[in-house]
Amino acid sequence: MTTLRRIAAVATGALLFVACGSDTTSKTLSGYELDPAPSVGALSLPEASNGDADFTFKAADGRLLIVYFGYTSCPDVCPTTLAEVKKAFKQLGDAADKVDVAMATIDPNRDTGEIITGYVQSFIPGAHALRSEDPAQLESVAAAFGASYSVTTAADGQIDVSHSAGMYVVDPSGTVVLTWPFGIPADGIATDLEILFDRSAK
């Protein structure tokens, strides 16, 4: 091999090394970070899946908490969102064991404790089902996250529910470190969680 070819080979190898070595650091978040980040650690809702004990919005040490506001009669948005979380957990493998999920129903009149628990745990076994019969409490908690919703009953008895469809990631300090808009795919969820865990390990 000539000297020129040796130099070219070494240069090519160096470029390949740089490209491969940058893979783990080039990931970007699919969700967005609010500034200032909402603090929700002082808030709580009754946990229907745990005898209505107060559920505080803080992840346990070394863990992350995903919070979602929805309802079980939702025809498309809620099941689609939870299905993507379920797929993301499969992609994460063992790392998913460090992530908790809590769903708060915005339709407590129809979503009994048993119904909301069965619903969210059909997607994520062991997920926390939250249900408050105090409208003011539920509204204030949702607003603290940046979520909104409306439940109205028409003259014919038809119930109309609308709600923001984002998900929220909370750390052990009770800070909302990331917000996911509706439509984020499982790949984005899994990658974002990996990035957040990498950050916390540094």
**156, amino acid identity:** D
Please give the pLDDT value at position 201. Answer: 83
Residue 2 lies inside a defined structural domain of this protein: no
Residue 88 lies inside a defined structural domain of this protein: yes
C-alpha span between 63 and 125 (Å, rounded): 17
Residue 24 lies inside a defined structural domain of this protein: no
Please give the pLDDT value at position 47. Answer: 99
What stretches of the chain show up as alpha helix (H) in DSSP?
3-21, 77-92, 113-123, 135-145, 186-201
The total of structural domains in the chain comes to: 1
CB 128 within 8 A of CB 60: no
For the chain, give the longest Cα–Cα distance. Answer: 88
Please give the pLDDT value at position 27. Answer: 81
Residue 14 lies inside a defined structural domain of this protein: no
pLDDT digits (tens, 9 = 90+) for 7-59: 333 333 333 333 333 343 568 999 999 999 999 999 999 999 999 999 999 99
C-alpha span between 104 and 170 (Å, rounded): 14
Residue 3 lies inside a defined structural domain of this protein: no
C-alpha span between 139 and 147 (Å, rounded): 9
Residue 55 lies inside a defined structural domain of this protein: yes
pLDDT 10s digit of each residue in the chain, 202 long?
A: 443 333 333 333 333 333 333 343 568 999 999 999 999 999 999 999 999 999 999 999 999 999 999 999 999 999 999 999 999 999 999 999 999 999 999 999 999 999 999 999 999 999 999 999 999 999 999 999 999 999 998 888 889 999 999 999 999 999 999 999 999 999 999 999 999 999 988 7
Please give the pLDDT value at position 18. Answer: 33
Please give the pLDDT value at position 102. Answer: 99
CATH number at 183 reads 3.40.30.10
**Predicted model pTM:** 0.86
DSSP state of 95: G
The residue behind tokens 């409490």 is 137
89 lies in which domain range?
Answer: 31-201
Angle, helices 186-201 vs 77-92, to 10°: value is: 50
C-alpha span between 137 and 118 (Å, rounded): 23
Please give the pLDDT value at position 105. Answer: 98
DSSP state of 180: E
Residue 17 lies inside a defined structural domain of this protein: no
Residue 9 lies inside a defined structural domain of this protein: no
CB 202 within 8 A of CB 70: no
